Amino acid sequence: MTVQRGDVVLLRAPFASRTGAKTRPMLVVQNDRNNARMKNTILVFITSNVSRAAEPTQVLVDIQSPEAAQSGLQQTSVIFCENILTVVQGDILRTIGHLPDTLMQRVDLALKESLALT
């Protein structure tokens, strides 16, 4: 399965403690050139816990907004740009949606903040 940057995918993602896993939405943040030529891709977690949505490393996706219409998310969520995971593309269960450029620009800023890139 080849994915594209901005795809919202489902993955059986491990808990940080490695004591288990659950199927959850994730966002592909790796560039499309590498997505096409490599077996791995880089993802960030998406969570429905919006309590820290105002932090500069997180991006709110309000499903009632026109921007979120194609995300495939079923509830308002936060893209958690400080939680990054590299996975084999074949482990991705399926693509459920795609984020528009306007939201991906906000993701880029949140990733820069998370990784201290200027």
Token pair for residue 16?
Answer: 């940080």
Confidence band for 39, pLDDT divided at 50, 70 and 90: very high
Contacts of 19 (CB under 8 A, 6+ apart): none
pLDDT tens digits along 74-86: 999 999 999 999 9
Domain at 7-115: CATH architecture: Roll (2.30)
Confidence band for 91, pLDDT divided at 50, 70 and 90: very high
Give percent of the chain with pLDDT exceeding 90.
88
pLDDT tens digits along 1-12: 789 999 999 999
**Is the confidence at residue 15, as pLDDT, over 80?**
no
Q: Domain limits of the chain? A: 7-115
pTM value is 0.94
Confidence band for 20, pLDDT divided at 50, 70 and 90: confident
